[in-house]
Amino acid sequence: MSSVAGEMRSEIRGVLFHESTIMSRLDELAGQISSDYSGKDLTVLAVLNGSLMFGADLLRRLEMPLRLDCLSVSSYHGASTTGVVTFNQLHLPEVHGRHVLLLDDILDSGHTLHAIQDKLMAETKPLSVKICVLLRKDVPRQRELEADYVGFDIANEFVVGYGLDYMERFRNLPYIGVINDEAITKYAPKG
Ligand code: IMP
Ligand code: MG
């Protein structure tokens, strides 16, 4: 193990889902999605940066010639949601009349996916929009929103890895885990 990987590992308090567990679940999810969208013209809309790893691994398991678009939003500051969703690009991908599968790392308060779904419906009028998340947190949603495909249900705790960050760190962990208090303090937002 390299020293960099070791450094990051020492900041992880526990592992929630090992890489092999995630991969097995993605096999199942991909089977379900492939069968549901069989014969349809599917456009996957990946929400960056959180769905980068998830999307890369999931999409390579899907069997249809789908289109891929990405969009970037921000709503989190540190370990809590701000509730204000900022779109980091001027225009949404053009998905008028298409079947869209929105891909995100985690469904928490629901603000992010709700805002994206709303904007998509209002501006580009897709044929259908479904939601696929790797994780779904056990918290009351602040927005009415159901995920159609869910990798894993988790308790209300802050997790990192496999795309998920704390202050933009830890996205590159190959598994999903929980960071320790020292790491939370070390990378905490200043001021
Ligand atoms: P929501 O808008 O509250 O549903 O939050 C969705 C976004 O918040 C996700 O796309 C993540 O970027 C971020 N987020 C929510 N919970 C966590 C977590 O436990 N770890 C890392 N990021 C999270
Ligand atoms: Mg984030």
Catalytic residue, from 69, 108, 118, 181: name it.
Answer: 108
- Catalytic (active site) residue 108: yes
How many angstroms is it from 39 CA to the middle of ligand 1? Answer: 32
Contact 43, 98 (CB under 8 A): yes
Q: Is the pLDDT of residue 4 over 60?
A: no
Ligand nearest, relative to CA of residue 54: 1
Q: How far apart are CA 46 and CA 48, in angstroms?
A: 6
Give the pLDDT of residue 78.
67
- The minimum-distance atom of ligand 1 relative to the CA of 105 is 10
Q: How far apart are CA 178 and CA 156, in angstroms?
A: 12
Q: Which of 164, 169, 171, 172 to mutate to test the pocket of ligand 1 (most atoms within 8 A of CB)?
A: 164
Predicted confidence (pLDDT) per residue in 16-55, tens digit: 999 999 999 999 999 999 999 999 999 999 999 999 999 9
pTM of this structure: 0.94
Query: Which class does domain 19-154 fall in?
Result: alpha beta
Structure tokens at 76: 């989190």
Task: Report the candidate in 15, 26, 10, 60 with the shortest Cα–Cα distance to residue 174.
Answer: 15
How many angstroms is it from 40 CA to the middle of ligand 2? Answer: 31
Locate the domains of the chain by residue range.
19-154
- Whole-number mean pLDDT of the chain? 93
Q: Is the pLDDT of residue 185 over 80?
A: yes
SS3 letters across 101-131: EEEEEEECCCHHHHHHHHHHHHHCCCCEEEE
Confidence of residue 76 (pLDDT cuts 50, 70, 90): low
Q: Which of 87, 112, 144, 176 to mutate to test the pocket of ligand 1 (most atoms within 8 A of CB)?
A: 112
